[in-house]
Structure 1
Amino acid sequence: MTQSDDLFLGFDLSTQQLKIISTYSNLKHHSTYRVDFDSELGLKYGIKKGVKSIESTGEIFAPVEMWIDALDICFTKMQNDEFPFNKVKAMSGSCQQHGSVYWSNEAPELLSNLTFEKSLKDQLCPNAFTFQTSPNWQDHSTGPELEAFEKSVNGCHNLSIITGSRAHYRFTGTQIRKLSTRINPELYHKTFKISLISSFLSSLLSNKITNIEESDGCGMNLYDIPNSKYNDELLSVAAGVHPIIDNCNDLQKTQDGINELKEKLGPIEPVGSKSIGVIGKYFVSKYGFNSNCQIYSFTGDNLATILALPLSNNDILVSMGTSTTVLLVTDQYKPSENYHVFKHPTLKNHYMGMLCYCNGALAREKIRDKLNESLNISTKNSWDEFNSILDKSKPLNGKNEIGIYFPIGEIIPNAKPCERRFKFNENDKKLIELKNLDSSNWSIQDDVNSIIESQALSCRLRVGPMLESSSSSSSTEEENKSLNENELEILDRLHKYSESIQSDGAIQSNKALVSKPNKVFYVGGSSNNRSILNKYCSILGALQGNFKIDLGDACALGGCYKSLWSYKCEIEGLKDDYGVWLSNSFDWDGGVEKLNAPDLWDEYVDGVGLLSIAELQLEK
């Protein structure tokens, strides 16, 4: 393939840095630039790890001016390197999710009249904003607001059905309510527009306030995902005019408050490949961008991550770090209060499911350390013996047993810290808890296998409903007719544990219990441990292969790829959907390793049943 000189930019405005990556039209890397907030701007803005914190209130936030400053600094670095700005055809990118930026009435005029003779921050700060800081995703100061949001729709389950998530401290809706009711109602009312950080950055680049992108907008607890519009009930909560929560007896005042917030948020930018504008005159004059350089909507960081890989329907990305994150592309809207569902940023009628486990590598390392200590292994952090045991292990230790290990409180399932071990008694069909760790009933060697299995089985149990075919029949009888003999046998095995296998309070359909992912991609620190990786592959049972990949710049790359695909669709007439296009264009031979782990999916069916009933005994 001949390499064109055309370039495409991807941005990643994360908590601790701004990164800009450029690629050619064949996806080959061109260059990477970054601004590290702590080392380059820490003293100037008084931040640590990219944020400021008020410990007494739980507030964690960042100065908006710092981000604006960083954009000029990063472009100046590129300019000093004689970066060919004029060859950039399009750009997109990602930003930390849920944070919000509050524009003043002066903002539109200030943005449209920027001059290259002054810096961005000197022309925009502070007058372009009502609030000078943006809440960070780590913020946990909105406890009263969480209660208000969930109460307004009769609980967290109903809120997750509407918005894809239960109420969270960091979500935009709770942050808006905090400002509108507790912090500074006057400044809230003076706010002209509210952006997510993603639409804030695209606004800077286009020199006009751009709309919130639909998939990122799903992380607000305000957007009604099934109906593709803002939910008036939740808007009234965020605006502080809810009839019950705020004792607002004036229906006109409630409606006025809803309308005011709708105006501040503006219309949603729908998922797709449509340009939201061209690069602003400031950047054309100062850095030499081509005035026709297209800007495509920016999205959230997790959403951009799935755009960095050729993930199509029913493909999974497992990030194996200190915590474990599972991202899933699905055509099923199956929300739960214990995880998140967003609209997919490029595929219409598709979603991104997101499971976030607190206990990942930390829990595994604790078992490893106990094992090494019991065997008097001098190198405490050695995985050698752990991996040796794991490689020789049998499913469920060959004894139909499972352990659950939460050194810290878990989100999925919602449970307090615990270390519990269970065995299923085949004679009376009951789950027995094994209280003592000793050689007669359970050894530390059993823990080695069990911790990896229980973590992988939890992923398998919870992705099932989102993998379920959209053509599933409504009745159990009709559904069973569509199952093959092996699948019916699997269901028979599961029913000895419970007639209704469930997760997080929801009963799973038969089709969900036998659904398998197509491709599974593994990233993160623990994906370098082949013994752990093989166990995950065996349990998740990918139909079209398991892959290990280094995904260090995923968010920025996702932005690059989104801008390139969008440009090809809009300018060159490409008809392929995003997943098909990226799969065809992706360099499968460069940095992607196909794994040859055995598929033992059938052998772990009992583990699904065991885990389902064991989790019911955990203390919330």
Structure 2
Amino acid sequence: MREAGFDFSRVRALSGSGQQHGSVYWKKGAAAVLRGLRSQHGLGRQLQDCFSVRDCPVWMDSSSGPQCERLQRAAGGADKLADITGSRAYERFTGSQIAKMREGHPREFQDTERISLVSSFAASLFLGAYAAIDYSDGSGMNLLDIRSKKWNEALLEAACPGLDVLLGTPLPSASVLGAVSSYWVRRFGFSEACQVVAFTGDNPASLAGMKLRQGDLAVSAPERQLFSNGVSIGTPLPPARVSQVSLGTSDTVFAWLRHARPALEGHVFVNPVDWRQFMALLCFKNGSLTRERLRNRCADASWERFSAALRQTPLGNHGYIGFYFDVMEITPPAVGVHLFDADDNEVSSVSAQVEVRALVEGQFLSRRLHAERLGYSIIPGTRILATGGASRNKDILQVLSDVFNAPVYTADVSDSACLGSAYRALHGALQQSGVSFFDILKKAPEAQLAATPQPHAPQVYCEMLQRYGRLEEKILQELRP
């Protein structure tokens, strides 16, 4: 940016996002190095000896099963842990990873004076001091009580006695942590008044970038990245890009929740825009690749024929319902293809047109069912925001609108996490003047209406949703050993 001639003195505030579920272990004495960074040298050279652990666990690490079991016992069971923290124990979550690090690397752990998430680590670099973990990213650790917004003492004790000292006190996601350190002022020309707003996780930042509000639901497939920064400068906002029901390789669902109802499947985080409310996140592995497989088999590899099949079959599909789990699904944990007729009898084959609609209706019934189990409900003004490859198919979007009985909007989003970080930076800088998050985005472009529900859709899919839930449970019972 400096080589491109960017004027850092214009930056009023900055924030950012970090890949969720990663942890960074600061070595004793690292705080003093952060405070005394010299502007004539780069960060890598000065910080290379500041970490007690060289190879830190991230979200791909699934080796902490015993530690997960201990967390669940400390909470009183998986259901209770989900109720407290928003999720049952997940091996890739930070609480169990910290516990495993303490047990497997006691010497390195003993030499640790602070543990950051990837997001708060990045914020620390700009702040020149250890940055607080924000509520939203902190709720992806299996340690934070999502209602009291405090670390749960029993869970901290189960993971590591004294862990609260290593983690610090969590703060709301819109908190201004302080001004950028003198390192950035001297090396890059930042203003001394530039504010650092708490960084958050990539998924919560995406919710902010989509401009989701209460009642909205987004379906999307954001790219994984380590961390991204957003800056707020003293000029008009750039064109906004909104998200999502993510319709990509996997389908990801974000929902703004007023009240949380955590379950064993999916996740509930503290909302990054309003810390008094919540967000839900669900990920479904069997997304666009499954749709493409059926397009190839049932529609001669033609999206136009695939769309024609949706137009030529009625809402409700004559009672046929399909479950398509080409690979082991996350939500629910099931695998295989299961087709049912109107009498709930499993059948081996149907016509190509019926199977196309069975797939699409079944996928969106699943998204709605599991979102509602986490506390999502359709209210007046609810919008569905869709992005990803399938969001360009109007017939798929029409089914999405009908199943959810809500209008569907589309928007072009290339990096909603980075955009959300810029929005959050501006909000953090202005919130003391009473400006709300949505007030600052009034001039940002809105998503475009793509589909509205047909009049008889609620009658069809209300009953069908109940059937889908019963049949899903039947499949799970048959798959259990």
Q: Secondary structure at the match of 2:276?
A: coil
Which one has more relative contact order, counting CA pairs under 8 Å at least 6 apart?
A: 2
Correspondence 1:149 to 2:149: no
Q: State which structure, 1 or 2, has the greater radius of gyration over its C-alpha atoms.
A: 1
Q: 1:280 maps to which residue?
A: 181
Map 1:216-235 → 2, pairs under 5 A:
216-235=137-156
Measured after TM superposition, the shift of residue 601 of structure 1 is: 2.9
Match for 2:169 among 240, 243, 267? 267
Relative to structure 1, the CA distance from residue 172 to residue 517 in structure 2 (aligned partners, 3 Å threshold; closer, same or farther) is: farther
Q: Secondary structure at the match of 1:353?
A: strand
Matched-pair contact (CA < 8 Å) for 2:246–2:387: yes
Alpha-carbon distance in structure 1 between the residues aligned to 2:381 and 2:52: 46
Which amino acid in the other structure matches residue 433 of structure 1? Answer: E
Measured after TM superposition, the shift of residue 147 of structure 1 is: 2.4
Q: Secondary structure at the match of 2:345?
A: strand
Match for 1:109 among 21, 32, 37? 32
Measured after TM superposition, the shift of residue 577 of structure 1 is: 2.7
Alpha-carbon distance in structure 2 between the residues aligned to 1:275 and 1:421: 53
Measured after TM superposition, the shift of residue 389 of structure 1 is: 0.5
Measured after TM superposition, the shift of residue 453 of structure 1 is: 0.2
Which amino acid in the other structure matches residue 339 of structure 2? Answer: R
Q: 1:519 maps to which residue?
A: 383
Measured after TM superposition, the shift of residue 331 of structure 1 is: 0.8
Match for 1:293 among 194, 199, 209? 194
Matched-pair contact (CA < 8 Å) for 2:248–2:388: yes
Matched-pair contact (CA < 8 Å) for 1:520–1:546: yes
* Alpha-carbon displacement from aligned partner over 1:196-216 (angstroms, at most 9, x marks no partner): 111000000111111111111
Alpha-carbon distance in structure 2 between the residues aligned to 1:350 and 1:518: 16
Match for 1:163 among 79, 85, 92? 85
Relative to structure 1, the CA distance from residue 561 to residue 223 in structure 2 (aligned partners, 3 Å threshold; closer, same or farther) is: same
Match for 2:438 among 569, 579, 583? 579
Matched-pair contact (CA < 8 Å) for 1:165–1:336: yes
Which amino acid in the other structure matches residue 311 of structure 1? Answer: L
Matched-pair contact (CA < 8 Å) for 1:93–1:298: yes
Match for 1:204 among 100, 125, 133? 125
Alpha-carbon distance in structure 1 between the residues aligned to 2:31 and 2:67: 30
* Alpha-carbon displacement from aligned partner over 1:110-153 (angstroms, at most 9, x marks no partner): 01111111111111112x11012222212222222222222333
Matched-pair contact (CA < 8 Å) for 1:400–1:606: no
Which amino acid in the other structure matches residue 453 of structure 2? Answer: P
Q: 1:547 maps to which residue?
A: 409
Measured after TM superposition, the shift of residue 157 of structure 1 is: 1.6
Map 1:308-387 → 2, pairs under 5 A:
308-317=209-218, 318-372=245-299, 377=300, 380=301, 382-387=302-307
Q: Secondary structure at the match of 1:92?
A: strand
Matched-pair contact (CA < 8 Å) for 2:215–2:379: no
Map 1:453-468 → 2, pairs under 5 A:
453-465=361-373
| TM-score, reference length from structure 1 | 0.70
Matched-pair contact (CA < 8 Å) for 1:214–1:270: yes
Alpha-carbon distance in structure 1 between the residues aligned to 2:149 and 2:261: 16
Q: Secondary structure at the match of 2:280?
A: strand
Map 1:471-482 → 2, pairs under 5 A:
none
Measured after TM superposition, the shift of residue 517 of structure 1 is: 6.6
* Alpha-carbon displacement from aligned partner over 1:502-545 (angstroms, at most 9, x marks no partner): xxxxxxxxxx6x75771111011211122211110111122xx4
Relative to structure 1, the CA distance from residue 98 to residue 517 in structure 2 (aligned partners, 3 Å threshold; closer, same or farther) is: farther
Matched-pair contact (CA < 8 Å) for 2:394–2:451: no
Which amino acid in the other structure matches residue 111 of structure 2? Answer: K
Q: 2:42 maps to which residue?
A: 119
Q: Secondary structure at the match of 1:533?
A: helix
Matched-pair contact (CA < 8 Å) for 2:266–2:374: no
Q: 1:606 maps to which residue?
A: 463
Q: Secondary structure at the match of 2:275?
A: coil
* Alpha-carbon displacement from aligned partner over 1:397-451 (angstroms, at most 9, x marks no partner): 1x21211110011121222x111111233xxxxx3222x21xxxx2232110001
Alpha-carbon distance in structure 1 between the residues aligned to 2:311 and 2:463: 20
Which amino acid in the other structure matches residue 111 of structure 1? Answer: L
Match for 2:449 among 591, 594, 597? 594
Relative to structure 1, the CA distance from residue 101 to residue 308 in structure 2 (aligned partners, 3 Å threshold; closer, same or farther) is: same
Q: 1:238 maps to which residue?
A: 159
Alpha-carbon distance in structure 2 between the residues aligned to 1:324 and 1:209: 35
Correspondence 1:531 to 2:390: no
Alpha-carbon distance in structure 1 between the residues aligned to 2:393 and 2:413: 16
Q: Secondary structure at the match of 1:329?
A: strand
Matched-pair contact (CA < 8 Å) for 1:312–1:580: no
Correspondence 1:421 to 2:367: no
Matched-pair contact (CA < 8 Å) for 2:17–2:417: yes
Relative to structure 1, the CA distance from residue 98 to residue 405 in structure 2 (aligned partners, 3 Å threshold; closer, same or farther) is: same
Measured after TM superposition, the shift of residue 388 of structure 1 is: 0.8
RMSD: 1.7
Map 1:14-25 → 2, pairs under 5 A:
none
Q: 1:483 maps to which residue?
A: none
Measured after TM superposition, the shift of residue 394 of structure 1 is: 0.7
Measured after TM superposition, the shift of residue 276 of structure 1 is: 0.3
* Alpha-carbon displacement from aligned partner over 1:341-388 (angstroms, at most 9, x marks no partner): 00011213210011111111122122112214xxxx4xx4x2121111
Q: 1:12 maps to which residue?
A: none
Q: 1:70 maps to which residue?
A: none
